[in-house]
Amino acid sequence: MPAETPVAELVERARAGQARAVARLISLVEDESPRLREVAAALTPHTGNAVVLGLTGPPGVGKSTSTSVLVGAFRARGLRVGVLAIDPSSPFSGGALLGDRIRMHDHTTDPDVFIRSMATRGHLGGLAVATPQALRVLDAAGYDVVLIETVGVGQSEVDIVSLADTTVVLLAPGMGDGIQAAKAGILEVADVFVVNKADRDGASETVRDLKHMISLGRRELGPSWRQPIVRTVASAGEGVADVLAALDAHRAWLESHGELTVRRETRAAREIEAIAVASLRARFAGPGGSAVASLAKRVAAGELDPYAAADLLTG
Amino acid sequence: MPAETPVAELVERARAGQARAVARLISLVEDESPRLREVAAALTPHTGNAVVLGLTGPPGVGKSTSTSVLVGAFRARGLRVGVLAIDPSSPFSGGALLGDRIRMHDHTTDPDVFIRSMATRGHLGGLAVATPQALRVLDAAGYDVVLIETVGVGQSEVDIVSLADTTVVLLAPGMGDGIQAAKAGILEVADVFVVNKADRDGASETVRDLKHMISLGRRELGPSWRQPIVRTVASAGEGVADVLAALDAHRAWLESHGELTVRRETRAAREIEAIAVASLRARFAGPGGSAVASLAKRVAAGELDPYAAADLLTG
């Protein structure tokens, strides 16, 4: 598809189910193409329909397998599914050292499943800007469910997952990860907990630890949604129906409590702020980049304090 | 110490070795006190002397124990040591769910060791702003070495650790963490690798895997520094002399290659940018906060695209 295909036509084709048009639109928003704003404007009237799910958890709990199984379950319901797999790449090498991107062989030939790996490289606003735009593309293209899967734990992953209507946190037994995950804040963003690899030793202890942590955290959370804990063996497809039931229950709760609107407005507010901050950052990195460098020399030499330098930068 | 103690006097007391004055100054910068700018200006002439070390790695590798042992080793050299332990707290509850702060009982009564846990809560610029300011306090107060320890892995932790002159990445055998850590980008920020718990099964495999990854990544790194891999059993104090030797070697390399200046100017540039972005963010969150909320409503409703909203916000 040539680069000069008009945006309106790309959006039309994407909405007609052409995966190549979807991919092209995501590339335009991911690469911060000059046409990015045009794309965002063209997509907007068609957005707001997709169910947005976040899935995260520490390394090794089976996120990719669980994603694949969930995609299959949604397909069995006749739903079209988009997947955004977040690959936090290095700020230093411009790519993950061992960047084995997700491959979900079961679904790659299904025209009603679209899978995309997202990376941070080159994007000034990072995944905080690129991910919501990619989500908009899939939403406008008519995918009924968009699943955002993040590998790793940490603040930036938490920020991304918090884009979702419903966030699923995966854990697995015997990894000593419960407490560590809590430190990284992911337990507190969970709407649904899944203990995967539940056939392994220690699954009951993990569930027990989770229940304890949920009871400790209860005062911090809204009173009316009780985070369920679902056991799965994703590699064998066990427990998937229970996960779907938990997702449906959370959806019903969101809608009946006005929370869906609250979450989506919060998501939009963060998206706007991330874009505004990124565009201001771009100004610093642009013609003003040399200004930062010369201010940095003075700060590093102890001649100027960093707040005074920032004032000089922002005028 | 009353809140109204003049900043100049606090800085004087901190430089005279009063831990309470150091703690008070860090609180002022961490809480974004109105006097923050005054503090930054007062500290600046006294900064630039501390050796800044970063220490990170996946959960469970023994970071706190290693930090404690390193502190002891620096004390044995007669050096004063400051420790900043980064505790990524939740954006949701305002605190880690099980926020068991680091406790290093061996050193808490030593007047030449200052230990501080840093959390993100409440701070608009987050740890990206607060950590460099706390580092400035310790530097100006005359601590010879400042050790920044981050728990967890992820982009924000990588950003914090990249403040250091020398970054130590800890791994441990048998956790399957090597590849996962690579995904989070922490392997690539390492100047020195430490394989802790080296008395356990699998230590040789971990070292071998690391060597392999280093060889893969070599083309991405500068040609002249070869990242050493040091084996330790921190809980028994084994290998600590080797870690110190590796740190000294890296220090010598930094100084002989002009890299120390490069790193410190890069650190200052990021610090200035983080402050500038945080102050712009504060403008959005301040009187303009309701503007964001009303724009977010329109974006969530599909009436306005987020780029147009950001333009309206930033004028």
A50 close to B (CB below 8 A) = no
CA distance A302 to B139: 11
Tell which wins on pLDDT, B107 or A116. Answer: A116
| B133 in a structural domain | yes
**B40, B97, B261 ranked by CB distance to A188: nearest:** B97
Minimum CA–CA partner of A29 in chain B: B307
How many angstroms separate the CA of residue A62 from the nearest CA in chain B? 12
Chain A CB contacts of B300 under 8 Å are 48, 261, 264-265, 267-268
Q: Which of residues 154-213 of A touch B (CB under 8 A)?
A: 154-159, 162, 176-177, 179-180, 182-185, 187-189, 213
Same domain, B93 and B152: yes
Other C-beta atoms within 10 Å of B33: how many? 15
Is residue A187 located within the same domain as residue A304?
no
Least confident window among A241-250, A291-300, B119-128, B192-201: B119-128
Q: Hey, is the C-beta of A215 within 8 angstroms of any chain B C-beta?
A: no
Chain segment B142-174, per-residue pLDDT in tens: 999 999 988 655 556 667 777 899 999 888 887
Does one domain contain both B163 and B283? no
Q: Which of A44, A184, A302 sits opposite B302 (nearest CB)?
A: A44
With beta carbons under 8 A apart, name residues in chain A contacting B47: 302
For residues A308 and A177, state if they share a domain. Answer: no
Residues A94, A146, single domain; the answer is yes
Whether A88 and B154 lie within 8 Å, measured CB to CB: yes
Nearest CA in chain B to A46: B302
A140 and A170 part of one domain = yes
Q: What's residue B152's pLDDT?
A: 57
Identify whether A32 is part of a domain: no
- Residue corresponding to tokens 């420790």: B83
Helix (H, G, I), strand (E, B) or coil at A256: helix
Cβ atoms of A280 and B280 closer than 8 Å: yes
CA distance A179 to chain B (A): 7
Residue type, B256: S
Contact state of A265 with B296 under an 8 Å Cβ cutoff: yes
Cβ contact B246:B195 at 8 Å = no
Residue B217's pLDDT band, with cuts at 50, 70 and 90, is: low
Q: What is the pTM of this model?
A: 0.68
Inter-chain CB proximity B97 and A273 less than 8 Å = no
Chain-chain contact of B188 with A92 (C-beta, under 8 angstroms): yes
Residues of B within 8 A of A93 (CB-CB) are 188, 217, 220
Among A241, A257, A273, which residue terminates a domain? A257
Q: Are both B212 and B279 inside the same structural domain? A: no
Separation in Å, CA of A17 to nearest CA in chain B? 21
CA distance A314 to chain B (A): 7
pLDDT of residue B94: 29
Residue B244 has pLDDT above 50, yes or no: yes
For residues A105 and A193, membership in a common domain is answered with yes
The CATH number for B179's domain is 3.40.50.300
> CB B305 to CB A153 under 8 A?
no
Average pLDDT, chain B: 81
Q: Say whether pLDDT at B125 is over 70.
A: no
Residue of B11, B28, B97, B263 to mutate, testing the A interface (most A Cβ within 10 Å of its Cβ): B97
CA distance B147 to chain A (A): 19
* Last residue in a domain, options A257, A289, A305: A257
Handedness of CA B231, B234, B236, B238 (dihedral sign): positive
| Three-class SS state of A81 | strand
- In angstroms, the separation between the Cα of residue A132 and the nearest Cα of chain B is 10
> Which residues of A, range 74-103, sit inside 8 Å of B by Cβ?
87-93, 96-99
Per-residue pLDDT in tens (0 to 9) along chain A, 315 residues: 555 789 999 999 999 999 999 999 998 888 777 788 899 999 999 999 999 999 988 777 888 889 999 999 999 999 999 999 886 543 332 223 233 333 455 676 788 999 888 765 444 456 777 888 999 999 999 999 999 988 655 556 667 777 899 999 888 887 654 445 554 566 678 899 999 999 999 899 889 888 877 776 654 445 578 889 999 999 999 999 999 999 999 999 999 999 999 999 988 988 888 888 777 777 766 655 678 888 999 999 889 999 999 888 876
Q: What span, in angstroms and rounded, lies between the C-alpha atoms of B258 and B219?
A: 21
Contact state of A300 with B41 under an 8 Å Cβ cutoff: no
Of A222, A242, A257, which residue constitutes the final position of a domain? A257
Looking at the structure, tell me whether residues A74 and A210 fall in a common domain. Answer: yes
Domains of chain A: total: 2
A268 inside domain: yes
**Does residue A96 contact residue A89 with C-beta atoms inside 8 Å?**
yes
Q: In this complex, do B299 and A261 lie within 8 Å of one another by their Cβ atoms?
A: no
Judgement on whether residues B155 and B282 belong to the same structural domain of the protein = no
Integer Cα distance of A170 and A232 in angstroms: 10
Q: Is there a domain that residue A81 lies in? A: yes
**Are A198 and A263 in the same domain?**
no
Residue B296 lies in domain? 258-315
Between A261 and B179, where is the model more confident? Answer: A261
A&B contacts, CB < 8 Å: 282
Residue B313 falls inside a structural domain? yes
Q: Do B280 and A276 touch (CB under 8 A)?
A: yes
- Looking at the DSSP bridge assignments, the partners of residue A149 are A55, A85
User: Does residue B284 sit within a domain?
Assistant: yes
Domain assignment present for residue A189? The answer is yes
Amino acid, single-letter form, for residue A254: L
DSSP notation for chain B: --TTS-HHHHHHHHHTT-HHHHHHHHHHHHTT-TTHHHHHHHHGGG-S-SEEEEEE-STTS-HHHHHHHHHHHHHHTT--EEEEEEE---TTTSS-TT------TTTTT-TTEEEEEEE-TT-TTTHHHHHHHHHHHHHHTT-SEEEEEE-S-SHHHHHHHTTSSEEEEEE-TTSSHHHHHHHTT-GGG-SEEEE-STTSTTHHHHHHHHHHHHHHHGGGS-SS----EEE-BGGGTBTHHHHHHHHHHHHHHHHHTTHHHHHHHHHHHHHHHHHHHHHHHHHHHTTTHHHHHHHHHHHHTTSS-HHHHHHHHH-
Q: Do A302 and B132 touch (CB under 8 A)?
A: no
Calpha distance B92→B96 (Å, rounded)? 9
Same domain, A313 and A252: no
CB B178 within 8 A of CB B148: no
